[in-house]
Amino acid sequence: MLLQPYADEKVNAYEAGFKSEWFDRRVRANVSTFYYDYTDLQVYDLMLVGAITEQIFTNASNAKIYGAEAEITACRWKA
């Protein structure tokens, strides 16, 4: 198997969110969102060579990952 050079992975990462408390700190909300824009994403891949499986390191392609999360906590007693 011929090993080839791979390009540097680059990512532009964007994140935003907030944390807040209400009602004398009895209710708490944490909310965030993110977006990652990858160029030359580096990954491990499996390649079958004869009867042997080899793991190789290579560049995949471009990738975009995005999502959000929220956490809300409420209690009867003051925290």
- Residue 39 domain-assigned (yes or no): yes
- Domain assignment of residue 19, given as a range: 10-74
Give the gyration radius of the chain's Cα atoms: 22
pLDDT tens for the chain, 79 residues long, are 556 677 888 999 999 999 999 998 899 999 999 999 999 888 888 888 888 888 887 788 899 999 999 999 999 876 5
Question: pTM for the whole thing?
Answer: 0.63
Q: How many domains does the chain have?
A: 1
Q: What is the per-residue burial (b if ≥16 Cβ within 10 Å, else e) of 11-49?
A: eeeeeeeeeeeeeeeeebeeeeeeeeebebbeeeeeeee
